[in-house]
Structures are given as C-alpha cells and as structure tokens.
C-alpha cells in the first residue's frame, strides 16, 4: 500500500498520517477526528492547502485524494463551550441581519435603489457568514438534518430552499426590478431567516440539555 504524508498540523503540532495515498479527504478528516482522545474536543477550524473550508460540506471534496493535499491545518476546541458561545453569537447576528434585510426592502420601496443596493450587498456577506457558522455548529453537534423542526419540515429541506430564493433575487437585481426584489426580501428571504433563527434556538436547547 502506497502511503502519503502531507504536512498536517493539529493545533499547531505536526501530526503524521500514514494512510493510503488514494484515500478521500472526508476519510482523512474522519481519521483525524478518530485520533482525538478527548470526546469533548471537536474540530473547530480547517484550512486545506491554505484555504479556510471550516463551514463547507466536506463531501464536496470527496474527489480530493490524500496525495493531492499539500498542507492541512486543523484547530480543535471544547465542543460544548464553543457551541454554546457560537449559537448565542449567531442568534444575535441573525437578529441584526433581519433588521438590515427589512431596512433594505424599505429602501427599495422608497426608490432609494443605490443605498438599497449597497445594504443588500452587505447583507449577502452576512448570509455567507450565517451559513458558514451554521454548518460548523451542525457538524459539532452531529445533528441529523433529516429530522423535522417545529414547523414540520426537515432541516435539510430548509437549507436547500435558500438557493432558489437567492437565484430569484439575483435575477430581480440584474433586471433592475427593485419592487420585485423588495417583495422577495419581505415575503421569502426574511421569513426564511426567521425560520433559520427558530432552528438555531432549537439547537441551543439541545446544546444546553
């Protein structure tokens, strides 16, 4: 069996991985996770070949083989404390995001398209941060996203629903249809993140149980 030994740093310490060079990246991460002695410690940050991929779905890298990895940096932390702190910060951030989304819709309806467009771009940056952090919490809590939340839909279906909403909003913005964009914000995008906030609250109860 041919082995590969990329540079792997766990909390700044060099770690040797003697694995088959053809093994996929998700299995590499599983091996690192299994090597941790303390069950209360979890992976909190991952940099792959210099790119921070912490909040990304590792299955997206299933075609990446160990032999293709030059450097892998992993940071760990206390899962319980980290998750509680992150959940609280995320709840506050989503509440602030909802306020900005409502302000954005109002600016579009008032005809202030330039200011509305600027705020809209800023809120989309916030959406990326929310998704990034949600994925981190989901992984640390080992949540089965197929389970239903309080409104009877699964977490996974909720996450999937974001992409078509974003696509519709991008099309409205590209066509300079600001009233449609305001409608999409008020009747689809804002309710979506109100539901996301409910999911985060459900996870918070689980983390404190």
Residues 94 and 187 in one domain: yes
pLDDT value for 9: 83
Query: Which sign does the torsion angle of CA 141, 147, 148, 154 carry?
Result: positive
Structure confidence by residue, pLDDT tens digits, 148-177: 555 555 667 777 888 899 999 999 989 999
CATH of the domain at 44: 3.10.20
- Determine which of 11-15, 43-47, 54-58, 130-134 has the lowest per-residue pLDDT on average: 54-58
- Give 102 or 128, the one with higher predicted confidence: 102
- Determine which of 21-25, 31-35, 61-65, 134-138 has the lowest per-residue pLDDT on average: 134-138
Residue 184: band (very low, low, confident or very high) from pLDDT cuts 50, 70, 90: very high
* pTM > 0.85: no
Residues 128 and 108 in one domain: yes
Give the separation between CA 7 and CA 96, rounded to whole angstroms.
Answer: 40
Residues 69 and 88 in one domain: no
Give the separation between CA 153 and CA 120, rounded to whole angstroms.
Answer: 28
Last residue of a domain, one of 36, 61, 78: 78
Residues 53 and 150 in one domain: no
pLDDT value for 131: 79
Q: Which two tokens stand for residue 170?
A: 């991008």
Task: Tell me whether residue 48 is exposed, middle or buried, using C-beta atoms within 10 angstroms of its C-beta: 0 to 12, 13 to 18, 19 or more.
Answer: buried
**Structural domain that includes position 61:** 3-78
Highest-confidence segment of 43-47, 95-99, 116-120: 95-99
Residue 124: band (very low, low, confident or very high) from pLDDT cuts 50, 70, 90: confident
pLDDT value for 2: 54
How many helices (H) does the chain have, and how many strands (E)?
7, 7
Residues 132 and 195 in one domain: yes
């Amino acid at each position: 069996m041919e082995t590969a030994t990329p540079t792997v740093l766990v909390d700044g310490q060099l770690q040797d991985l003697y694995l088959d060079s053809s093994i996929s990246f998700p299995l590499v991460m599983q091996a690192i996770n299994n090597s941790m002695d303390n069950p209360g410690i979890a992976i909190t940050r991952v940099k792959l070949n210099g790119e921070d991929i912490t909040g990304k779905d590792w299955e997206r890298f299933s075609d990446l083989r160990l032999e293709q990895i030059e450097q892998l940096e992993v940071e760990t932390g206390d899962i319980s404390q980290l998750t509680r702190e992150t959940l609280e910060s995320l709840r506050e951030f989503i509440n602030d995001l909802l306020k900005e989304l409502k302000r954005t819709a109002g600016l579009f309806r008032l005809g202030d398209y330039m200011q509305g467009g600027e705020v809209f771009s800023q809120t989309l940056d916030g959406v990326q941060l929310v998704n990034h952090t949600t994925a981190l919490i989901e992984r640390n809590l080992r949540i089965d996203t197929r389970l239903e939340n309080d409104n009877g839909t699964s977490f996974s279906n909720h996450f999937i629903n974001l992409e078509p909403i974003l696509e519709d909003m991008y099309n409205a913005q590209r066509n300079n249809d600001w009233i449609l964009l305001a409608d999409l914000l008020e009747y689809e995008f804002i309710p979506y993140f109100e539901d996301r906030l409910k999911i985060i609250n459900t996870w918070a109860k689980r983390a404190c149980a």
